[in-house]
Amino acid sequence: MKSTFGLYIILGMAFVFLGSCSSNTEVVPDGKKFFDADDYFKKEIERLTANKDSVSKLLSIDGKIDVIISMVDFEKELDAFVKSNINKSDLYDKYEVDSTYEKGLLRQENYAAMDSTLWTRSFKVGYDSLGKVSQIDIKNIRENPILKSVQSLSYKPDTLYGIVGYTKTLLNDEGKTRIEVNLINRKP
């Protein structure tokens, strides 16, 4: 009886050991597999806030346009970008990834949702020749029987960002919002 119990212990330990040695998942530095919008935009918010940049902000709601020149709360302004983060372990198998390289350098990453119920349907990141982010484009869509909402986001570091939103309800009420922000008074 003791030898059978000991055999089970040894076999159990062998399965645990072998299971921990082999893995089908890719090891990703810092647990990141996709572009991390949450981390990137938090750093951008800190940087833009520290620079105390002024902005020229165009706000259009159903065709009525306002232009505002002021300081803004970048944490609130860029929240839609942060909320579009797809670098979450439960989403890794929900997106197709297409990367473009030029002369060995990553130039663009395209993430396309394979599930039409996901909020973020596409996420594109462009890189300059130094490997820095040059542009981010995101498309978010929410559809259900009574509402369709589409949100297009674009971000160019040190230049501008924009959000265009379109909403249509079952009662045929349509709404279109456009926010375009240009950074002015840039400090070196």
Q: What is the pLDDT of residues 121-135, one digit of tens each?
A: 999 999 999 999 999
The pTM score is 0.76
| Averaged confidence pLDDT in the chain | 79
85 versus 16: the higher-pLDDT residue is: 85
53 versus 1: the higher-pLDDT residue is: 53
Contact 74, 52 (CB under 8 A): no
- Taking the C-alpha atoms of residue 135 and residue 174, their distance in angstroms, rounded to an integer, is 29
pLDDT at 12: 35
Which residues have C-beta within 8 Å of that of residue 145, sequence separation ≥ 6? 170
DSSP conformation class of 94: S
pLDDT at 31: 52
